[in-house]
């Protein structure tokens, strides 16, 4: 996967957290993700499919406590239930990240899907075969935030 696909998503994630929550994210070193070897833990993922001249998926994942802290901060109330409000907010977050990243990839015509949200301890995501998945970890005051990008261009 071309590295030029990574930076728009890093910028969009940082800007989305700043605009959505006023929160600062610190980018850590991106790496090739292998679900069989990875030790990161997460409980909820927002998934957006990309189609058009670039195909693949963008996923943002959080441990449960991090997601609850983010949603509590956003809604300005103490959210303790890992339910609809969390699902809705995580879906909206990944939607905004994908939509904003498109601005820096205008050489390609890209269509984004409606977001899907998956919950469960260390759930598996089926990635497009033959396309590498890049993991971009971020540090935040809420705890770790994980962004996964797996894309290929078709033109």
Q: Is 98 in the site for another protein (CB under 8 A)?
A: yes
CA distance 143 to 128: 28
Packed helices 64-75 and 84-101: angle between N→C axes, nearest 10 degrees: 80
Segment (H or E) for 93: helix 84-101
Q: Who contacts 15 (Cβ-Cβ below 8 Å, separation ≥6)? A: 100
Given 49, 99, 137, 144, the residue binding another protein (CB under 8 A): 99
CB-nearer residue toward another protein: 74 or 82: 74
Q: Who contacts 62 (Cβ-Cβ below 8 Å, separation ≥6)? A: 42, 43, 44, 45, 70, 90, 142, 143, 144, 145, 146
Site size for another protein (CB under 8 A): 27
Q: Is 16 in the site for another protein (CB under 8 A)?
A: yes
Q: Is 121 in the site for another protein (CB under 8 A)?
A: no
Window 70-89: residues binding another protein (CB under 8 A): 74-75, 84-85, 88-89
Given 29, 36, 39, 106, the residue binding another protein (CB under 8 A): 106
CA distance 67 to 93: 11
Q: How far is the CB of 72 from another protein (least distance, A)?
A: 12
- Applying CB under 8 A, the residues found at the interface with another protein are 15-16, 19-20, 74-75, 84-85, 88-89, 91-92, 95-100, 102-103, 105-106, 109-110, 112-114
């Amino acid at each position: 996967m071309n590295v030029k696909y990574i930076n728009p998503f890093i910028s969009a994630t940082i800007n989305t957290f700043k605009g959505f929550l006023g929160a600062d994210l610190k980018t850590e070193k991106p790496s090739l993700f292998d679900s069989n070897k990875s030790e990161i833990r997460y409980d909820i993922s927002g998934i957006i499919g990309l189609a058009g001249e670039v195909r693949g998926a963008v996923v943002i994942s959080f441990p449960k406590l991090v997601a609850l802290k983010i949603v509590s901060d956003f809604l300005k109330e103490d959210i303790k239930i890992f339910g609809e409000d969390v699902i809705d907010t995580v879906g909206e977050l990944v939607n905004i990240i994908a939509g904003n990243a498109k601005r820096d990839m205008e050489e390609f015509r890209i269509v984004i899907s409606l977001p899907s949200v998956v919950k469960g301890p260390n759930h598996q995501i089926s990635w497009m075969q033959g396309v590498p998945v890049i993991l971009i970890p971020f540090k935040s005051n809420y705890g770790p935030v994980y962004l996964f990008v797996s894309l290929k261009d078709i033109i």
